[in-house]
Amino acid sequence: MDIIETERLILRPWREEDAADLYRYASDPAVGPAAGWAPHKDVGDSLHILRTILMKPDTWAVTLKGGDVPVGSVGIFPSSCSLANGQPEIGYWLARPLWGNGCIPEAVRALIALCFDRGAEEVWCAHADFNVRSHRVIEKCGFTYRCTEDWTSALGDVRKSLYYSIRRKEWDGSIKAD
């Protein structure tokens, strides 16, 4: 899998040795539940998540240039939105100490560019109706609201998920930092 470099970030494959760093941020109760997953309980839990979810194709650890510590994750997967017809969707999370500094919009823009380079005509993104931080990322990246659908999270609750997309013809090619 490719390493993706942006102005301030290196997006690289996850590794088993990332388990302790993943646990440090994924155990924060403000991080996972907003994205629909439970805070990690211990380093063993994080290692299991690495092996079963994060160490997959099209999922990257977000690291800051000049360091190699994962501070978040971004990934591409087939959208479950009924309007998406299997088009790619981008998901993400970021460690709370870095919230609000534009890292995730920068990473998402890089993945939008990758999806279009691979031939996608439309790229999707979604957030739970209460997740205002995620909504702001989607807004900064130029996505347009398309619909709201029920979504069952990994926590087992049914949420209103707002789906957005950006079409190739709407994309300005920007992957710059905010």
Instruction: Write the pLDDT tens digit of every residue in 133-155.
Output: 999 999 999 999 999 999 888 88
pLDDT: which is higher, 70 or 1: 70
Q: Where are the beta strands (DSSP E) in the chain?
A: 4-5, 9-13, 59-64, 70-78, 88-94, 122-128, 144-152, 158-167
Tens-place pLDDT, residues 109-135: 999 999 999 999 999 999 999 999 999
Phi-psi domain of 119 (left: phi exceeds 0; alpha: psi -120 through 50; beta: other): left
pLDDT score at 34: 83
Q: Is 4 a residue whose pLDDT tops 60? A: yes
Tens-place pLDDT, residues 18-63: 999 999 999 999 888 888 888 999 999 999 999 999 999 999 999 9
Strand 122-128 versus strand 144-152 pairing type = unpaired
The torsion of the CA quartet 52, 55, 58, 64, rounded to 10 degrees, works out to 130
Return d(Cα 42, Cα 178) in angstroms, integer. Answer: 34
pLDDT score at 106: 96
